[in-house]
Chain A
């Protein structure tokens, strides 16, 4: 039957389901597979298996997930994020307050320590899921020993055991950090800066 172009509209063409594609050569040719030879297709060829090869499912290189990952955002029924949700965890800026008295003690060398120290505190807080309220840099004077020290106090919103565990983690991170510092900076950390955590 010859079908003219005019007789088949585009709509008709897509609504019509296509015939099933033959899965094997046997189905295509209508001849049993065992009776077929390559010469039917390749002149002078040897007999080959004409059944389509079985394809093994590819093995995943990723380890199996123990549980389904949590979605990054709460999705609505449409599958799209609800308006107002964000793809990223909320990051609040942590205020670092320096008292006027401390400014006289913060030399360039001390400054070069304080910046990474803030970074260590934020990293450890993030890992321990501790919420930092603020960081205060001040000076402490011991009148008995006439001793001045820079105090680096991290004010956190946590229960005492959590705050102390956080404090311990900062100490461990500082001990690792000190291994890579020159002696003159290690001395400043050990002799001139007190790192305190306050949860009260």
Chain B
């Protein structure tokens, strides 16, 4: 019989952030920094998604939200309902991650990564308390 992973063996999303920080050396390429930004976002997003309060808020969202937005948007709206500041910071990380993955003309990756890293490092522990 297949069983789900036990809580102890679950992957910890904050490991994504630790990995990104180890990847972002002074000589990191643009590809590396773009990847790091994405990992920083997922560390925060997956932490938020797994929290009981956030799950409850997502389930309580009206149908029009569920129709209009994907799962990322729903989690962000749910976090905003709990705490506007945290929700907007998570939303900014998502924006950075979308730019990293889709906008090929975007520049200034060292500063963008610094912001993403700083935001995620502060946000993940706060989201863990929800």
Which residues of A are in contact with B by a Cβ distance under 8 Å? 140, 142-147, 149, 151, 160, 164, 167-168, 170-172, 174-175, 178, 189-191, 194-196, 198-200
Question: Which one of B5-13, B43-51, B75-83 contacts A?
Answer: B75-83
Residue of B nearest to A173 (CB): B84
Closest B residue, CB atoms, query A190 = B80
Contact A200 B115, CB 8 Å, known A170-B85, A171-B85, A190-B80: yes
How far, in whole Å, are A178 and B84 apart by their CA atoms in the complex? 10
B93-121 interface code vs A (CB 8 A; 1 in, 0 out): 01100100010000010011011001100
Counting from the closest, the 4 A-B pairs by CB-CB distance are A171-B85, A145-B70, A171-B84, A174-B84
Tell me if B86 counts as interface (CB < 8 A to partner A).
yes
Contacts of B91 in A (CB 8 A): 149, 194, 196
Q: What residues of chain B lie closer than 8 Å to A142, measured between beta carbons? A: 70, 72-73, 94, 98
Write the residues of chain B forming the contact surface with A, with a CB cutoff of 8 angstroms: 65, 68-70, 72-73, 77, 80-81, 83-89, 91-92, 94-95, 98, 102, 108, 111-112, 114-115, 118-119, 122
Contact partners of A178 in chain B: CB under 8 A: 84
* Cα A140 to Cα B108 with chains together (Å): 19
- A147, A196, A200: which contacts B88 (Cβ < 8 A)? A196
Contacts of B88 on A, CB cut-off 8 Å? 167, 171, 194-196
Complex Cα gap A140–B88 (Å): 13
A190 touches B102 (CB 8 A): no
CB closest chain-A residue, reference B98: A142
Shortest CB-to-CB span from B72 to chain A, Å, is 6
Residues on the B chain within 8 Å of A190, using CB: 77, 80-81, 84, 87
Within 8 Å CB of B83, what residues of A? 171, 175
CB-defined contacts of A143 to chain B, threshold 8 Å = 98, 102
Q: A164-B122, A171-B83, A194-B95 are in contact. Are A200 and B108 (CB under 8 A)?
A: yes
A25 to chain B, nearest CB (A): 74
Contact in complex: B114, A200 (CB < 8 Å): yes
Find out whether the CB atom of A167 lies under 8 angstroms from the CB atom of B89: yes
Cα–Cα distance between A146 and B98 once the two chains are bound (Å): 12
The verdict on A200 contacting B72 (CB below 8 Å), with A142-B94, A171-B84, A194-B92 known, is no
Which single residue of chain B is at the shortest CB-CB distance from A144?
B70
Check A160–B118 contact: CB distance below 8 A.
Answer: yes
CB-CB nearest in chain B for A140: B95
Q: Taking the nearest CB of chain A, how far is it from the CB of B62, in angstroms?
A: 9
Which residues of A lie under 8 Å from residue B112 when comparing CB positions?
200
**A147–B68 touching, CB < 8 Å:** yes
Complex CA–CA separation, A170 to B91 (angstroms): 15
Report B-chain residues with C-beta under 8 Å of the C-beta of A170.
Answer: 84-85
Inter-chain contacts of B119 with A (CB < 8 A)? 164
CB distance from B105 to the nearest CB of A (A): 15
Expressed in whole angstroms, the Cα–Cα distance for A168 and B87 within the complex equals 10
For the complex, give the distance between the alpha carbons of A140 and B83 in Å: 21
